Amino acid sequence: MGNAASRVPVAWRLPVLLAGGLALIAGLYAGLLLLAVPMPAPVGSLERVHGPVMVFGFAGTLIGLERAVALGARWALLGPACSGAGAIVLIIDGPGPIGYGLMMLAATILLVVYRSLWQRQPGIALLAQVAGAFAWYASTLLLLAGFTVAETVPWLAVFVIATIAGERLELAHVGLRAANAPQLLLAALLVLVAGATATTVSPAAGGHLFGFGLLAVTGWLAVFDVARRTVHATGLPRYIAIGLLAGYAWLALAGLLWAGGGTVLDGPRYDAVLHAVFLGFTMSMIFVHAPVILPAVLRRPLPYHRLLYVPLAVLHVSLLVRIGAGDGLGAEPVWRWAGVVNVAAVVGFAGCAAGLSLTRGRASRRPAPALS
């Protein structure tokens, strides 16, 4: 990706990344408001756009930026720029056609980016990521049509799950022992997309199908991902593997809750499935892939350090308390403060990453000692 990345100036990437960072901060603030933490509430309807701002404004902007750098085309930055701008509009004005329209445009541009990447190297791994971008487009289409965020959650989930599964297939391809493994992932994703479609048409029955599709994708990841082998390694490979496997466990829990209970739009089970997917799985993926992806995007090192295990552990332990005691046992104070610790884990990881990157950046600029 080196030559392609050089065609997209770093100075062009920084405003896009800053917009994604702003979406993360606003999304975390909205999460605290939803947890009923006593703090100043903004004038807009920030709580109502918590999901789209976090999933599309933050994660979508990061994914779009990484894909634009991989393609090496400056026009591709329009996609993450639109998702970042859409998040800012939603933060200021609340849910509305301008913010969601910008996010739909971002999904459309991402699909065009994937078309260009397909012309270079077609394959099932890229097709899985196309399914994720289509789910992003479908989500915004439904939001513009008047569906609530809760009703579009399966499509938001397909976006992150299909995208990450496709990227894991790319990495695992050389080590796959079963020749039909890519086809098996494609079949699992087809069930997942069919389930998301069914939840839109018939929520009662569609939720069960979506859950089975989610379990199928999780099963594929658990069997074929190289994390099963690299977890026995050391350093960064082990850190990545631990975060991946923990994320897959949360994805399996969400699949069981959807498959067994069907669609749910509020209450403790809704909180459990929502945060199992978007905190336990998605945020864990971001934590462990940051040392690989951020240097490629920003051309600044983010070295692995054992300190990175701290926010990762805090994230998963606090989420276990939130879902197990808070949602499962109905202990509202536990649920609330475990949620606050969830937010602290994300902020803590951002602080660790920034500190390690700045420290390593200064060290790399020091002149080498003279040889005696």
168, 280, 186: which is closest to 224 by C-alpha? Answer: 168
Q: What is the pLDDT of residues 9-54, one digit of tens each?
A: 777 888 898 999 999 999 999 999 999 888 887 766 788 899 999 9
* In contact, 79 and 13? CB cutoff 8 Å: no
Report the C-alpha gap between 323 and 362 in whole angstroms: 41
Residue 317 lies in a domain: no
Give dist(CA 350, CA 353) in Å, integer: 5
| pLDDT tens digits along 133-155 | 999 999 999 999 999 999 999 99
Cα separation, 312 vs 316, in Å, equals 6
What does the pLDDT average to over 260-288?
93
Q: Annotate 82-98 with b (16+ C-beta within 10 A) or e (fewer).
A: bbbbbbbbbbeebbeee
The proportion of the chain whose per-residue pLDDT surpasses 90, expressed as a percent, equals 67
Grade residue 72 by pLDDT with cuts at 50, 70 and 90. confident
Phi, psi of 37 (to 5 degrees): -75, 130
How many whole angstroms separate alpha carbon 330 and alpha carbon 207? 23
Residue 196 resides in a domain: no
Number of domains in the chain: 1
Q: Which two tokens stand for residue 306?
A: 């054992």
Is 94 a member of any domain? yes
**Residue 38 dihedral angles phi and psi, to the nearest 5°:** -70, 110
113 occurs within a structural domain: yes
What average pLDDT score do residues 207-222 get?
95
Residue 318 lies in a domain: no
Alpha helical stretches, state H, 145-281 = 149-172, 181-201, 203-224, 227-230, 235-261, 267-275
Range of the domain at 30: 1-122
Q: At what angle do helices 309-321 and 332-365 cross, to 10 degrees?
A: 170
157: helix, coil or strand? Answer: helix
Q: Is residue 50 part of a domain?
A: yes
Q: Given a cut of 80, is residue 164 above it in pLDDT?
A: yes
In a domain, 254, yes or no: no
Indicate whether 235 pLDDT > 80.
Answer: yes
